[in-house]
Structure 1
Amino acid sequence: MDTFLLFLLVGVVAQTADGALGMAYGLIANSVLLALGVPPATASASVHVAKLFTGSASAASHLYHRNILWSLFWPLAIGGVLGGVVGAFVLTGVDGDVIRPFILAYLFAMGVWVLARAARQSRTRELPPRLSGPLGLVGGFLDAIGGGGWGPTVTSTLVGAGAEPRHAIGTVNTSELLVTAAISAAFLVALLTGRWDGGALHDHAWAVGGLIVGGLIAAPFAGWITKRLPQRVLTYAVGTLLILLAAFQGLQIAGLFA
């Protein structure tokens, strides 16, 4: 029960950040699981199962508050599904920690870029839909590999390119639901075909349950927070969160933070 309550709290914090800023649920939850010694593939699978539930509630909130750009939604979702499936199969056969430092370097650079745009008060513009498909492909792959990465990769790129934060966050957060479903299905196929032994997923049932309940508590407020916060505040928040997450995981890799 202590494990359930711990991950309930983690789920509330992670989903509040993810729903309002378009990122962090997977990275926060995955980082905690990895810090507790859970294997990378098992941690990623556990987080994506939880995100199926929390992502549904968050997507409904953004849909209600009209935070979605449909011209970007479908290219992002289709690219994300393809990249996520490939990433899940790579992770079940290769150690995902090998590419983790490169992901963190990218996230840190994007955080600095986003903060620079906020400081300059750059004019917003919409990313061409033809570029959102490849962006979704990369984001889905990194999300499956790192147990989280869809939001930081895609949201940061959209905001950095000049998209209005409210619509970037809502679109990315909602399309993530389809990406998460595809990644979860890929992990299931890998488990059923014997490619992956599952890493004793049942041992982490309380943790997954806590992530789901905590996320469901916070998710309904996501769209409202995103809609109400000023654009510049959201931009600064996205950039700062990216840098903090990259730094935190960098310390973990260096062995300076357990």
Structure 2
Amino acid sequence: MRKLLILAFIGLAAQLIDGSLGMGFGITSTSLLLLLGSAPAAASASVHLAEVVTNAASGISHIRFGNVNKQTVFRLILPGSIGAFAGACFLSSLPGDVIKPYISGFLLLLGFYVIFRFAFIKQKKHYAKKGFSKKQLIPLGLVAGFMDATGGGGWGPVTTPVLLAKNDDEPRKIVGSVDTSEFAVSLSATLGFLVSLGWKEVSWTWVLAIMAGGMLAAPIAAWLVKKMPAHILGILVGGIIILTNLRTLLNTGGLFTEAFIYLTYAVIFVLWGTALFVSARKNKNSSRSII
């Protein structure tokens, strides 16, 4: 019973992060299941099955709060679903551990860029109403869907920072659109896992516990996205990207000591806090000058 309550709390916390920042549910939940002894494919299958329901709740909440660009969602769904299904079917034979550090390195740099842009570069006042083009979203959806299924989480960490870096839509609508489109991606990944693994590999007790916590957090996260200032939302997303991918890089190959890892995290938190302070102060001064 205690383990189920912990899983429900993790589901709640993971969805609160994922729904408000556009990433985090899969990575957080999969890491926990692996820690509890689940096999990688079974952990990813269980998380994606839970995400089908939590993402549906999250998508409905984002739509109700006006956080969604429907054009972006429709253009992400098909390639994302194809990539997720393919990734799920071939998870057991793919060198995910070999590829993951390179993807993490790219996303780490992208995270620094996102923070720099939202902290120091003047933001657009008006964004493209039609969102992103098919040429931008089709390859992105395929790669992100594939990474999501093979890594147990990757749709948000790959898609959200890339779209934020383009600066062609409001941050809240990017987060809401990515989160809403993830329903189809999770469903396709789940179907792929069921085809390749079968129902027996899924831990239904764990799925239901994570699902319950995630559903409670979905509307709260969508409300936070609507109310949070764009510059704060962007910097928070950038920080989560950096911390998530830095962890992958520092733990690759056992090259770094614990002291070095903790020092690196301390430096990142200081830089992250500085960026939030600079951005908040700059936007406060801008508001005063307008008045």
After TM superposition, the score normalised by the length of structure 2 is 0.80
Where does the alignment leave 5 or more consecutive residues of structure 2 unmatched? 262-291
Q: Amino acid of the residue matched to residue 173 of structure 1?
A: D
CA distance in 2, matches of 1:151, 1:205: 24
Shift of 1:38: 2.2
Shift of 1:251: 4.2
**Matched-pair contact (CA < 8 Å) for 1:3–1:206:** no
CA distance in 1, matches of 2:46, 2:183: 15
CA distance in 1, matches of 2:253, 2:141: 29
Shift of 1:176: 0.5
Task: Establish whether residue 146 from structure 1 lines up as the match of residue 151 from structure 2.
Answer: yes
**Matched-pair contact (CA < 8 Å) for 1:85–1:183:** yes
* Aligned residue number for residue 195 of structure 1: none
Shift of 1:252: 4.3
CA distance in 1, matches of 2:247, 2:171: 24
Shift of 1:103: 2.5
* Aligned residue number for residue 276 of structure 2: none
**Matched-pair contact (CA < 8 Å) for 2:89–2:195:** no
The residue correspondences of 1:237-256 to structure 2 (distance < 5 A) are 237-254=236-253
Q: 127, 132, 141: which one pairs with 2:132?
A: 127
Q: Amino acid of the residue matched to residue 159 of structure 1?
A: L
Shift of 1:222: 2.2
The residue correspondences of 1:1-258 to structure 2 (distance < 5 A) are 1-119=1-119, 120-123=121-124, 126-162=131-167, 163-192=169-198, 201-202=201-202, 204-254=203-253
CA distance in 2, matches of 1:219, 1:69: 18
Shift of 1:102: 2.0
CA distance in 2, matches of 1:26, 1:121: 32
SS state of the match for residue 181, structure 1? helix
CA distance in 2, matches of 1:127, 1:183: 24
Deviates further, 216-225 or 146-155: 216-225
- How many residues are aligned here? 250
**Matched-pair contact (CA < 8 Å) for 2:96–2:150:** yes
Tell me the alpha carbon deviations over residues 111-160 of structure 1, each in whole angstroms, 9 at most, x when there is no partner: 11111111213435543233111111111011001110001111111111
SS state of the match for residue 33, structure 1? helix
Where does the alignment leave 5 or more consecutive residues of structure 1 unmatched? 193-197
Deviates further, 105-114 or 19-28: 105-114
Q: Amino acid of the residue matched to residue 240 of structure 1?
A: G
Deviates further, 75-84 or 63-72: 63-72
Deviates further, 6-15 or 114-123: 114-123
Shift of 1:19: 0.5
SS state of the match for residue 99, structure 1? helix
**Matched-pair contact (CA < 8 Å) for 1:44–1:147:** yes
SS state of the match for residue 93, structure 2? coil
Tell me the alpha carbon deviations over residues 19-58 of structure 1, each in whole angstroms, 9 at most, x when there is no partner: 0111110011112222333222111111101101111110
Q: Who wins on radius of gyration, i.e. which is larger?
A: 2
Deviates further, 144-153 or 38-47: 38-47
CA distance in 1, matches of 2:45, 2:27: 13
SS state of the match for residue 212, structure 2? helix
After TM superposition, the score normalised by the length of structure 1 is 0.90
Deviates further, 220-229 or 168-177: 220-229
**Matched-pair contact (CA < 8 Å) for 1:31–1:249:** no
**Matched-pair contact (CA < 8 Å) for 1:40–1:97:** no
Q: Amino acid of the residue matched to residue 230 of structure 2?
A: Q
How high is the sequence identity, in percent, across the aligned residues? Answer: 38
Q: Amino acid of the residue matched to residue 122 of structure 2?
A: Q
